[in-house]
Amino acid sequence: MSENEILAIFEQTHALLQNDHFIYTSGKHGSSYLNKDAIYPHTAAISELCAEIARQVGEATARRVSEASPRPNVEVVVGPALGGIVLSQWVAHHLSGLLGREVLGVYTEKTPENGQRFIRGYDALVAGKNVLVVEDVMTTGGSIRKVVDAVVAAGGTVVQAFALVNRNPTEVTSAVVGAPLSALVELPMEAFKPAACVLCVKRVPINTKIGKGKELDVGK
């Protein structure tokens, strides 16, 4: 799939929103928003995107085999709850078909300290295994790095990290994530600190239905 085809899926499912005034999780403002929650109800769409991740990972696996590379194959796919559960399951499903063997799909969960860990016995499935970590949207790389660290802590080896979208490709890199990093789409989105937001200067109304703008008291 081309990047245009992938972006078309986001647009068709109303996951990619543009020409508005959004507040991101970081507190910064911007005119574009990738609403990852909008795509998950569309099972055919998310399956197609995960199949593309599996295809790219599978092709890399085939190349390593043909080149007699020592780099290991994926045995388990791990994503962070909640959205990463869907991704880990679909990617593992498609990888199993491509590789002709079972690839497990499990997930980590948030800790009270805002970390990520395995708390359902999945650490035993990850220990000693070669792991693909998946994420939906990366902005800082912090969330996916926590999953990578959780896999390492459980005794697994992260052979690759893969996201649907990397919103900040100049800063979110393999070094930041702690594993070889790929994304279906690199989609830089401009973000302004509230005090320097050009949208605020132009008095563009903040979208209070999407993102952190929902926290605003629109009655004031």
- Contacts of residue 92, defined as CB under 8 A and 6 or more positions apart, other chains included, come to 76, 77, 103, 104, 105
pLDDT in tens, the chain (220 residues): 999 999 999 999 999 999 999 998 788 999 999 998 999 999 999 999 999 999 999 887 655 555 555 546 899 999 999 999 999 999 999 999 999 999 999 999 999 999 999 999 999 999 999 999 999 999 889 999 999 999 999 999 999 999 999 999 999 999 999 999 999 999 998 889 999 999 999 999 999 998 899 988 544 4
The SS3 of residue 184 is strand
The domain 3-215: what is its CATH number?
3.40.50.2020
**Tally of CB atoms within 10 A around 49:** 23
Which pLDDT value is given to residue 58?
86
Q: Which of 12, 87, 106 is nearest to 47 (CA)?
A: 87
Which pLDDT value is given to residue 26?
80
Q: Which two tokens stand for residue 14?
A: 């109303």
Which pLDDT value is given to residue 68?
54
CA dihedral 163, 164, 170, 172 (to 10 degrees): -30
Domain ranges of the chain: 3-215
- Whole-angstrom distance, CA of residue 78 vs CA of residue 96: 14
